[in-house]
Structure 1
Protein backbone atom coordinates (compact mmCIF):
# COMPACT_ATOMS: atom_id res chain seq x y z
CA UNK A 1 0.00 0.00 0.00
CA UNK A 2 1.41 3.44 -0.96
CA UNK A 3 2.39 5.64 1.94
CA UNK A 4 0.63 8.97 2.39
CA UNK A 5 2.50 12.15 1.43
CA UNK A 6 4.30 13.67 4.39
CA UNK A 7 6.41 16.80 4.83
CA UNK A 8 10.18 16.72 5.41
CA UNK A 9 9.56 17.93 8.96
CA UNK A 10 7.20 15.00 9.60
CA UNK A 11 9.83 12.64 8.20
CA UNK A 12 12.48 14.14 10.48
CA UNK A 13 10.20 13.87 13.51
CA UNK A 14 9.34 10.25 12.65
CA UNK A 15 13.01 9.37 12.16
CA UNK A 16 14.02 10.99 15.44
CA UNK A 17 11.14 9.26 17.26
CA UNK A 18 12.32 5.97 15.80
CA UNK A 19 15.85 6.76 16.96
CA UNK A 20 14.62 7.48 20.50
CA UNK A 21 12.71 4.18 20.59
CA UNK A 22 15.65 2.15 19.25
CA UNK A 23 18.06 3.91 21.63
CA UNK A 24 15.79 2.98 24.53
CA UNK A 25 15.92 -0.67 23.39
CA UNK A 26 19.73 -0.38 23.19
CA UNK A 27 19.81 0.93 26.78
CA UNK A 28 17.74 -2.00 28.01
CA UNK A 29 20.02 -4.47 26.24
CA UNK A 30 23.10 -2.74 27.61
CA UNK A 31 21.72 -3.21 31.13
CA UNK A 32 21.61 -6.95 30.44
CA UNK A 33 25.09 -6.65 29.00
CA UNK A 34 26.97 -9.93 28.65
CA UNK A 35 24.69 -11.79 31.09
CA UNK A 36 22.85 -13.90 28.47
CA UNK A 37 26.17 -15.00 26.96
CA UNK A 38 27.63 -15.71 30.42
CA UNK A 39 24.59 -17.85 31.27
CA UNK A 40 24.87 -19.69 27.94
CA UNK A 41 28.60 -20.35 28.46
CA UNK A 42 27.99 -21.62 32.00
CA UNK A 43 25.18 -23.88 30.79
CA UNK A 44 27.53 -25.33 28.15
CA UNK A 45 30.24 -25.84 30.78
CA UNK A 46 27.82 -27.56 33.19
CA UNK A 47 26.57 -29.82 30.37
CA UNK A 48 30.20 -30.67 29.52
CA UNK A 49 31.02 -31.52 33.15
CA UNK A 50 27.91 -33.71 33.44
CA UNK A 51 28.92 -35.53 30.26
CA UNK A 52 32.42 -35.99 31.67
CA UNK A 53 31.00 -37.45 34.91
CA UNK A 54 28.83 -39.82 32.90
CA UNK A 55 31.85 -41.04 30.92
CA UNK A 56 33.95 -41.46 34.09
CA UNK A 57 31.19 -43.51 35.74
CA UNK A 58 30.91 -45.65 32.60
CA UNK A 59 34.69 -46.13 32.73
CA UNK A 60 34.38 -47.29 36.37
CA UNK A 61 31.73 -49.83 35.37
CA UNK A 62 33.98 -51.12 32.58
CA UNK A 63 36.95 -51.40 34.97
CA UNK A 64 34.82 -53.16 37.62
CA UNK A 65 33.66 -55.61 34.94
CA UNK A 66 37.31 -56.17 33.98
CA UNK A 67 38.20 -56.96 37.62
CA UNK A 68 35.26 -59.35 37.88
CA UNK A 69 36.35 -61.13 34.68
CA UNK A 70 39.94 -61.45 35.95
CA UNK A 71 38.72 -62.87 39.29
CA UNK A 72 36.62 -65.43 37.44
CA UNK A 73 39.67 -66.31 35.35
CA UNK A 74 41.72 -66.81 38.55
CA UNK A 75 39.06 -69.12 40.00
CA UNK A 76 38.95 -71.10 36.77
CA UNK A 77 42.77 -71.35 36.72
CA UNK A 78 42.83 -72.54 40.36
CA UNK A 79 40.23 -75.18 39.54
CA UNK A 80 42.32 -76.36 36.59
CA UNK A 81 45.50 -76.44 38.72
CA UNK A 82 43.65 -78.59 41.26
CA UNK A 83 42.33 -80.82 38.48
CA UNK A 84 45.77 -81.22 36.87
CA UNK A 85 47.31 -81.90 40.29
CA UNK A 86 44.86 -84.72 40.87
CA UNK A 87 45.56 -86.10 37.37
CA UNK A 88 49.31 -86.13 38.09
CA UNK A 89 48.69 -88.72 40.82
CA UNK A 90 47.42 -91.18 38.23
CA UNK A 91 49.86 -90.66 35.33
CA UNK A 92 51.45 -93.66 33.64
CA UNK A 93 54.70 -92.01 32.54
CA UNK A 94 56.92 -88.95 32.84
CA UNK A 95 55.69 -87.51 29.56
CA UNK A 96 52.13 -87.27 30.89
CA UNK A 97 53.39 -85.89 34.20
CA UNK A 98 55.51 -83.20 32.47
CA UNK A 99 52.65 -82.27 30.19
CA UNK A 100 50.36 -81.71 33.20
CA UNK A 101 53.15 -79.76 34.95
CA UNK A 102 53.31 -77.42 31.97
CA UNK A 103 49.52 -76.95 32.12
CA UNK A 104 49.75 -76.13 35.84
CA UNK A 105 52.63 -73.71 35.18
CA UNK A 106 50.62 -72.02 32.42
CA UNK A 107 47.59 -71.59 34.72
CA UNK A 108 49.86 -70.16 37.46
CA UNK A 109 51.17 -67.62 34.95
CA UNK A 110 47.56 -66.81 33.99
CA UNK A 111 46.80 -66.17 37.68
CA UNK A 112 49.83 -63.88 38.04
CA UNK A 113 48.85 -61.94 34.92
CA UNK A 114 45.25 -61.62 36.08
CA UNK A 115 46.37 -60.41 39.53
CA UNK A 116 48.62 -57.84 37.85
CA UNK A 117 45.69 -56.60 35.77
CA UNK A 118 43.45 -56.45 38.86
CA UNK A 119 46.09 -54.35 40.62
CA UNK A 120 46.27 -52.01 37.61
CA UNK A 121 42.48 -51.78 37.47
CA UNK A 122 42.27 -50.90 41.17
CA UNK A 123 44.84 -48.13 40.64
CA UNK A 124 42.72 -46.85 37.74
CA UNK A 125 39.65 -46.84 40.01
CA UNK A 126 41.47 -44.71 42.58
CA UNK A 127 42.58 -42.31 39.84
CA UNK A 128 39.10 -42.14 38.27
CA UNK A 129 37.46 -41.52 41.67
CA UNK A 130 39.87 -38.64 42.32
CA UNK A 131 38.94 -37.09 38.96
CA UNK A 132 35.23 -37.69 39.70
CA UNK A 133 35.56 -35.90 43.07
CA UNK A 134 37.34 -32.96 41.40
CA UNK A 135 34.73 -32.83 38.63
CA UNK A 136 31.85 -32.96 41.14
CA UNK A 137 33.41 -30.09 43.11
CA UNK A 138 33.84 -28.03 39.95
CA UNK A 139 30.30 -28.92 38.82
CA UNK A 140 28.91 -27.78 42.17
CA UNK A 141 30.74 -24.46 41.88
CA UNK A 142 29.61 -23.94 38.29
CA UNK A 143 26.00 -24.82 39.12
CA UNK A 144 26.00 -22.32 41.97
CA UNK A 145 27.51 -19.66 39.71
CA UNK A 146 24.99 -20.49 36.97
CA UNK A 147 22.09 -20.26 39.44
CA UNK A 148 23.33 -16.84 40.59
CA UNK A 149 23.75 -15.52 37.03
CA UNK A 150 20.36 -16.90 35.99
CA UNK A 151 18.81 -15.14 38.99
CA UNK A 152 20.43 -11.86 37.90
CA UNK A 153 19.27 -12.32 34.31
CA UNK A 154 15.73 -13.32 35.31
CA UNK A 155 15.45 -10.25 37.57
CA UNK A 156 16.58 -7.93 34.76
CA UNK A 157 14.31 -9.67 32.25
CA UNK A 158 11.34 -9.39 34.61
CA UNK A 159 11.96 -5.64 34.82
CA UNK A 160 12.68 -4.96 31.17
CA UNK A 161 11.30 -7.69 28.89
CA UNK A 162 7.75 -6.32 28.74
CA UNK A 163 9.02 -2.80 27.98
CA UNK A 164 11.52 -4.09 25.41
CA UNK A 165 8.85 -6.04 23.52
CA UNK A 166 6.51 -3.03 23.58
CA UNK A 167 9.31 -0.81 22.27
CA UNK A 168 10.23 -3.26 19.49
CA UNK A 169 6.58 -3.32 18.45
CA UNK A 170 6.51 0.51 18.46
CA UNK A 171 9.72 0.60 16.42
CA UNK A 172 8.13 -1.65 13.79
CA UNK A 173 5.00 0.55 13.73
CA UNK A 174 7.07 3.72 13.25
CA UNK A 175 9.13 2.10 10.49
CA UNK A 176 5.94 1.43 8.54
CA UNK A 177 5.22 5.17 8.52
CA UNK A 178 8.61 6.06 7.03
CA UNK A 179 9.52 5.53 3.39
CA UNK A 180 11.73 2.53 2.68
CA UNK A 181 14.61 4.62 1.29
CA UNK A 182 14.94 6.54 4.57
CA UNK A 183 14.56 3.40 6.71
CA UNK A 184 17.33 1.69 4.78
CA UNK A 185 19.58 4.75 5.20
CA UNK A 186 18.72 4.92 8.91
CA UNK A 187 19.53 1.24 9.45
CA UNK A 188 22.77 1.51 7.47
CA UNK A 189 23.96 4.50 9.51
CA UNK A 190 22.92 2.82 12.78
CA UNK A 191 24.96 -0.27 11.94
CA UNK A 192 28.01 1.81 11.04
CA UNK A 193 28.19 3.99 14.16
CA UNK A 194 29.40 2.74 17.53
CA UNK A 195 26.52 3.97 19.70
CA UNK A 196 23.74 3.23 17.20
CA UNK A 197 22.81 6.91 16.83
CA UNK A 198 21.74 7.53 13.23
CA UNK A 199 19.67 10.68 13.92
CA UNK A 200 21.19 13.31 16.21
CA UNK A 201 20.38 16.90 17.20
CA UNK A 202 22.76 19.83 16.87
CA UNK A 203 24.39 20.61 20.21
CA UNK A 204 26.53 23.72 20.67
CA UNK A 205 26.98 24.13 16.93
CA UNK A 206 28.05 20.52 16.29
CA UNK A 207 26.22 17.25 15.63
CA UNK A 208 25.48 15.30 18.79
CA UNK A 209 28.53 13.40 20.00
CA UNK A 210 30.82 15.13 17.48
CA UNK A 211 33.42 17.88 17.80
CA UNK A 212 33.10 19.03 14.20
CA UNK A 213 31.37 22.41 14.00
CA UNK A 214 28.51 22.75 11.53
CA UNK A 215 28.59 26.00 9.47
CA UNK A 216 25.88 28.54 10.48
CA UNK A 217 24.30 28.40 7.01
CA UNK A 218 23.86 24.61 7.32
CA UNK A 219 22.49 25.05 10.83
CA UNK A 220 19.86 27.42 9.44
CA UNK A 221 18.92 24.90 6.75
CA UNK A 222 18.54 22.18 9.40
CA UNK A 223 16.36 24.48 11.53
CA UNK A 224 14.14 25.24 8.51
CA UNK A 225 13.28 21.52 8.27
CA UNK A 226 12.90 21.76 4.50
CA UNK A 227 15.27 18.94 3.58
CA UNK A 228 17.05 16.01 5.19
CA UNK A 229 20.66 16.94 5.90
CA UNK A 230 23.41 14.56 6.99
CA UNK A 231 26.62 15.32 8.85
CA UNK A 232 29.50 15.29 6.33
CA UNK A 233 31.85 13.65 8.88
CA UNK A 234 29.73 10.90 10.42
CA UNK A 235 26.92 10.54 7.87
CA UNK A 236 24.30 10.93 10.62
CA UNK A 237 20.96 12.60 9.88
CA UNK A 238 20.77 15.96 11.65
CA UNK A 239 17.80 17.60 13.38
CA UNK A 240 17.59 20.93 15.17
CA UNK A 241 17.63 21.11 18.96
CA UNK A 242 14.09 22.42 19.29
CA UNK A 243 12.61 19.55 17.28
CA UNK A 244 14.69 17.10 19.31
CA UNK A 245 13.45 18.59 22.59
CA UNK A 246 9.80 18.39 21.50
CA UNK A 247 10.11 14.78 20.33
CA UNK A 248 11.99 13.73 23.49
CA UNK A 249 9.19 15.08 25.67
CA UNK A 250 6.61 13.29 23.53
CA UNK A 251 8.49 9.98 23.53
CA UNK A 252 9.29 10.14 27.27
CA UNK A 253 5.55 10.41 27.91
CA UNK A 254 5.08 7.35 25.67
CA UNK A 255 7.83 5.38 27.45
CA UNK A 256 6.27 6.17 30.83
CA UNK A 257 3.09 4.36 29.75
CA UNK A 258 4.89 1.16 28.64
Structure 2
Protein backbone atom coordinates (compact mmCIF):
# COMPACT_ATOMS: atom_id res chain seq x y z
CA UNK A 1 0.00 0.00 0.00
CA UNK A 2 3.02 2.32 0.19
CA UNK A 3 2.62 3.41 -3.44
CA UNK A 4 -0.77 5.03 -2.79
CA UNK A 5 1.02 8.02 -1.23
CA UNK A 6 2.13 9.02 -4.73
CA UNK A 7 -1.44 9.42 -5.97
CA UNK A 8 -3.13 12.80 -5.94
CA UNK A 9 -6.51 13.40 -4.29
CA UNK A 10 -8.11 13.56 -7.73
CA UNK A 11 -6.61 10.19 -8.65
CA UNK A 12 -7.83 8.71 -5.38
CA UNK A 13 -11.32 10.11 -5.94
CA UNK A 14 -11.30 8.73 -9.47
CA UNK A 15 -10.34 5.31 -8.13
CA UNK A 16 -13.06 5.55 -5.45
CA UNK A 17 -15.70 6.35 -8.08
CA UNK A 18 -14.48 3.41 -10.17
CA UNK A 19 -14.49 1.16 -7.09
CA UNK A 20 -18.00 2.26 -6.19
CA UNK A 21 -19.30 1.51 -9.66
CA UNK A 22 -17.58 -1.88 -9.72
CA UNK A 23 -18.94 -2.71 -6.28
CA UNK A 24 -22.42 -1.78 -7.51
CA UNK A 25 -21.99 -4.28 -10.34
CA UNK A 26 -20.91 -6.94 -7.83
CA UNK A 27 -23.89 -6.01 -5.64
CA UNK A 28 -26.20 -6.60 -8.63
CA UNK A 29 -24.75 -10.10 -9.03
CA UNK A 30 -25.31 -10.81 -5.34
CA UNK A 31 -28.90 -9.54 -5.66
CA UNK A 32 -29.33 -11.88 -8.62
CA UNK A 33 -28.18 -14.77 -6.44
CA UNK A 34 -30.55 -13.52 -3.75
CA UNK A 35 -30.89 -15.73 -0.70
CA UNK A 36 -29.89 -18.85 -2.63
CA UNK A 37 -26.40 -19.27 -1.06
CA UNK A 38 -27.91 -19.00 2.45
CA UNK A 39 -30.81 -21.31 1.54
CA UNK A 40 -28.40 -23.91 0.13
CA UNK A 41 -26.25 -23.80 3.28
CA UNK A 42 -29.32 -24.04 5.54
CA UNK A 43 -30.65 -27.04 3.61
CA UNK A 44 -27.27 -28.76 3.76
CA UNK A 45 -27.18 -28.24 7.54
CA UNK A 46 -30.75 -29.54 7.92
CA UNK A 47 -29.99 -32.64 5.84
CA UNK A 48 -26.86 -33.31 7.89
CA UNK A 49 -28.95 -33.03 11.07
CA UNK A 50 -31.62 -35.37 9.68
CA UNK A 51 -28.98 -37.93 8.68
CA UNK A 52 -27.53 -37.77 12.21
CA UNK A 53 -31.03 -38.27 13.66
CA UNK A 54 -31.67 -41.15 11.27
CA UNK A 55 -28.41 -42.85 12.29
CA UNK A 56 -29.24 -42.36 15.97
CA UNK A 57 -32.70 -43.94 15.57
CA UNK A 58 -31.24 -46.88 13.61
CA UNK A 59 -28.70 -47.45 16.38
CA UNK A 60 -31.50 -47.35 18.98
CA UNK A 61 -33.55 -49.89 16.97
CA UNK A 62 -30.51 -52.18 16.65
CA UNK A 63 -29.90 -51.86 20.40
CA UNK A 64 -33.50 -52.79 21.21
CA UNK A 65 -33.42 -55.68 18.76
CA UNK A 66 -30.32 -56.98 20.50
CA UNK A 67 -32.13 -56.56 23.84
CA UNK A 68 -35.07 -58.62 22.48
CA UNK A 69 -32.73 -61.36 21.31
CA UNK A 70 -31.14 -61.48 24.78
CA UNK A 71 -34.58 -61.81 26.39
CA UNK A 72 -35.54 -64.58 23.96
CA UNK A 73 -32.41 -66.47 24.94
CA UNK A 74 -33.28 -65.90 28.61
CA UNK A 75 -36.76 -67.38 27.96
CA UNK A 76 -35.22 -70.47 26.36
CA UNK A 77 -32.92 -70.92 29.35
CA UNK A 78 -35.79 -70.45 31.83
CA UNK A 79 -38.05 -72.89 29.95
CA UNK A 80 -35.23 -75.45 29.85
CA UNK A 81 -34.82 -75.11 33.61
CA UNK A 82 -38.58 -75.51 34.12
CA UNK A 83 -38.51 -78.80 32.20
CA UNK A 84 -35.47 -79.88 34.19
CA UNK A 85 -37.15 -79.12 37.53
CA UNK A 86 -40.42 -80.73 36.46
CA UNK A 87 -38.52 -83.92 35.61
CA UNK A 88 -36.70 -83.78 38.96
CA UNK A 89 -40.06 -83.42 40.73
CA UNK A 90 -40.96 -86.92 39.61
CA UNK A 91 -38.20 -88.33 41.81
CA UNK A 92 -38.57 -86.22 44.99
CA UNK A 93 -38.32 -88.05 48.29
CA UNK A 94 -40.05 -85.59 50.60
CA UNK A 95 -42.22 -82.46 50.72
CA UNK A 96 -39.25 -80.21 51.37
CA UNK A 97 -37.59 -81.19 48.07
CA UNK A 98 -40.95 -80.90 46.27
CA UNK A 99 -41.54 -77.36 47.58
CA UNK A 100 -37.99 -76.32 46.71
CA UNK A 101 -38.43 -77.55 43.13
CA UNK A 102 -41.85 -75.92 42.83
CA UNK A 103 -40.34 -72.63 44.00
CA UNK A 104 -37.64 -72.88 41.30
CA UNK A 105 -40.29 -73.64 38.64
CA UNK A 106 -42.35 -70.69 39.80
CA UNK A 107 -39.32 -68.35 39.68
CA UNK A 108 -38.37 -69.48 36.17
CA UNK A 109 -42.00 -69.10 35.03
CA UNK A 110 -42.02 -65.54 36.38
CA UNK A 111 -38.72 -64.91 34.57
CA UNK A 112 -40.36 -66.05 31.33
CA UNK A 113 -43.33 -63.71 31.86
CA UNK A 114 -41.02 -60.80 32.72
CA UNK A 115 -38.91 -61.40 29.61
CA UNK A 116 -42.08 -61.62 27.47
CA UNK A 117 -43.20 -58.26 28.88
CA UNK A 118 -39.80 -56.73 28.11
CA UNK A 119 -39.99 -58.14 24.58
CA UNK A 120 -43.52 -56.75 24.10
CA UNK A 121 -42.51 -53.28 25.35
CA UNK A 122 -39.34 -53.24 23.23
CA UNK A 123 -41.24 -54.41 20.14
CA UNK A 124 -43.75 -51.56 20.58
CA UNK A 125 -40.90 -49.10 21.02
CA UNK A 126 -39.23 -50.44 17.87
CA UNK A 127 -42.52 -49.80 16.05
CA UNK A 128 -42.50 -46.18 17.23
CA UNK A 129 -38.84 -45.79 16.30
CA UNK A 130 -39.54 -47.29 12.87
CA UNK A 131 -42.22 -44.62 12.31
CA UNK A 132 -39.73 -41.92 13.35
CA UNK A 133 -37.16 -43.40 10.97
CA UNK A 134 -39.62 -43.40 8.09
CA UNK A 135 -40.53 -39.76 8.80
CA UNK A 136 -36.83 -38.83 8.91
CA UNK A 137 -36.16 -40.63 5.61
CA UNK A 138 -39.07 -38.85 3.92
CA UNK A 139 -37.88 -35.51 5.29
CA UNK A 140 -34.38 -36.19 3.95
CA UNK A 141 -35.83 -37.03 0.55
CA UNK A 142 -37.86 -33.81 0.44
CA UNK A 143 -34.95 -31.67 1.66
CA UNK A 144 -32.54 -33.28 -0.82
CA UNK A 145 -35.00 -32.57 -3.63
CA UNK A 146 -35.23 -28.92 -2.52
CA UNK A 147 -31.44 -28.73 -2.20
CA UNK A 148 -30.96 -30.11 -5.69
CA UNK A 149 -33.31 -27.47 -7.08
CA UNK A 150 -31.69 -24.60 -5.17
CA UNK A 151 -28.20 -25.76 -6.13
CA UNK A 152 -29.27 -25.97 -9.75
CA UNK A 153 -30.58 -22.39 -9.67
CA UNK A 154 -27.44 -21.12 -7.94
CA UNK A 155 -25.07 -22.99 -10.27
CA UNK A 156 -26.92 -21.57 -13.27
CA UNK A 157 -26.55 -18.01 -11.96
CA UNK A 158 -22.91 -18.59 -11.04
CA UNK A 159 -22.27 -20.03 -14.51
CA UNK A 160 -23.83 -16.97 -16.13
CA UNK A 161 -22.07 -14.41 -13.93
CA UNK A 162 -18.76 -16.06 -13.01
CA UNK A 163 -16.77 -14.42 -15.80
CA UNK A 164 -18.23 -10.98 -15.01
CA UNK A 165 -17.70 -11.41 -11.27
CA UNK A 166 -14.03 -12.34 -11.74
CA UNK A 167 -13.50 -9.32 -13.99
CA UNK A 168 -15.24 -6.96 -11.57
CA UNK A 169 -13.24 -8.32 -8.63
CA UNK A 170 -10.06 -7.73 -10.60
CA UNK A 171 -11.12 -4.15 -11.35
CA UNK A 172 -12.05 -3.60 -7.70
CA UNK A 173 -8.60 -4.74 -6.54
CA UNK A 174 -6.96 -2.44 -9.07
CA UNK A 175 -9.05 0.53 -7.90
CA UNK A 176 -8.29 -0.23 -4.26
CA UNK A 177 -4.57 -0.19 -4.95
CA UNK A 178 -4.84 3.53 -5.82
CA UNK A 179 -6.42 4.55 -2.50
CA UNK A 180 -4.77 4.73 0.92
CA UNK A 181 -5.88 2.35 3.65
CA UNK A 182 -7.63 4.89 5.88
CA UNK A 183 -9.78 6.13 3.03
CA UNK A 184 -10.64 2.54 2.07
CA UNK A 185 -11.67 1.79 5.64
CA UNK A 186 -13.98 4.81 5.57
CA UNK A 187 -15.36 3.74 2.19
CA UNK A 188 -16.07 0.18 3.39
CA UNK A 189 -17.63 1.43 6.63
CA UNK A 190 -19.96 3.82 4.79
CA UNK A 191 -20.99 1.07 2.35
CA UNK A 192 -22.00 -1.18 5.22
CA UNK A 193 -24.10 1.59 6.75
CA UNK A 194 -26.45 1.82 3.77
CA UNK A 195 -28.55 -0.91 2.20
CA UNK A 196 -27.88 0.36 -1.31
CA UNK A 197 -24.11 0.16 -0.67
CA UNK A 198 -23.48 3.71 -1.93
CA UNK A 199 -20.44 5.32 -0.27
CA UNK A 200 -19.36 7.61 -3.13
CA UNK A 201 -22.05 9.75 -4.74
CA UNK A 202 -22.15 12.73 -7.12
CA UNK A 203 -23.62 16.12 -6.29
CA UNK A 204 -26.70 16.41 -8.48
CA UNK A 205 -29.11 19.35 -8.56
CA UNK A 206 -27.18 20.97 -5.71
CA UNK A 207 -27.85 17.95 -3.48
CA UNK A 208 -26.09 14.86 -2.18
CA UNK A 209 -26.74 11.94 -4.53
CA UNK A 210 -27.22 9.67 -1.54
CA UNK A 211 -29.49 11.45 0.94
CA UNK A 212 -30.51 14.48 -1.21
CA UNK A 213 -29.33 16.91 1.46
CA UNK A 214 -28.61 20.37 0.00
CA UNK A 215 -24.92 21.08 -0.64
CA UNK A 216 -23.87 24.77 -0.31
CA UNK A 217 -22.37 26.44 -3.45
CA UNK A 218 -19.01 27.02 -1.72
CA UNK A 219 -18.69 23.31 -0.90
CA UNK A 220 -19.73 22.38 -4.43
CA UNK A 221 -16.89 24.54 -5.75
CA UNK A 222 -14.44 22.74 -3.46
CA UNK A 223 -15.73 19.37 -4.64
CA UNK A 224 -15.16 20.36 -8.27
CA UNK A 225 -11.55 21.31 -7.51
CA UNK A 226 -10.86 17.70 -6.37
CA UNK A 227 -8.18 18.89 -3.96
CA UNK A 228 -9.52 17.12 -0.89
CA UNK A 229 -11.97 14.42 0.09
CA UNK A 230 -15.28 16.00 1.11
CA UNK A 231 -18.16 14.17 2.75
CA UNK A 232 -21.83 14.97 3.09
CA UNK A 233 -22.52 16.56 6.48
CA UNK A 234 -25.85 14.74 6.68
CA UNK A 235 -25.12 11.14 5.64
CA UNK A 236 -21.30 10.97 5.65
CA UNK A 237 -21.01 9.76 2.05
CA UNK A 238 -17.99 10.83 -0.02
CA UNK A 239 -19.00 13.50 -2.52
CA UNK A 240 -17.69 13.93 -6.07
CA UNK A 241 -18.70 16.21 -8.93
CA UNK A 242 -20.98 14.97 -11.70
CA UNK A 243 -18.33 15.31 -14.41
CA UNK A 244 -15.96 13.00 -12.57
CA UNK A 245 -18.73 10.53 -11.83
CA UNK A 246 -19.99 10.48 -15.42
CA UNK A 247 -16.51 10.19 -16.93
CA UNK A 248 -16.03 6.69 -15.51
CA UNK A 249 -17.72 3.75 -17.16
CA UNK A 250 -17.42 0.14 -16.10
CA UNK A 251 -17.31 -2.49 -18.81
Q: Offset at 1:187?
A: 2.4
Contact 2:11 2:178 (8 Å CA) reproduced: no
Q: Offset at 1:226?
A: 3.2
* Residues matched between the structures, number: 250
SS at match of 2:228: coil
Normalising by structure 1, what TM-score?
Answer: 0.91
Residues 137, 92 of structure 1: CA spacing in aligned structure 2 closer, same or farther, 3 A cutoff?
same
Contact 2:199 2:237 (8 Å CA) reproduced: yes
Separation in 1, partners of 2:185, 2:51: 47
SS at match of 2:236: coil
SS at match of 2:22: helix
SS at match of 2:195: coil
Q: What is aligned with 2:208?
A: 207
Unaligned runs of 5+ in 1: none
2:57 aligned with 1:51, yes or no? no
2:161 aligned with 1:134, yes or no? no
2:92 aligned with 1:82, yes or no? no
Q: What is aligned with 2:63?
A: 62
Q: Offset at 1:86?
A: 0.7
Contact 2:198 2:210 (8 Å CA) reproduced: no
Contact 2:57 2:133 (8 Å CA) reproduced: yes
Contact 2:7 2:178 (8 Å CA) reproduced: no
Unaligned runs of 5+ in 2: none
Separation in 2, partners of 1:3, 1:124: 71
Q: What is aligned with 1:124?
A: 125
SS at match of 2:201: strand
Separation in 2, partners of 1:122, 1:180: 69
Runs (4 or more) in structure 1 with deviation over 6 Å come to none
- Aligned-pair RMSD on alpha carbons? 1.7
Normalising by structure 2, what TM-score?
Answer: 0.93
Separation in 2, partners of 1:57, 1:131: 10
Q: Which moved more, 1:5-14 or 1:114-123?
A: 5-14
Separation in 2, partners of 1:78, 1:5: 98
2:198 aligned with 1:191, yes or no? no
Q: Offset at 1:23?
A: 1.7
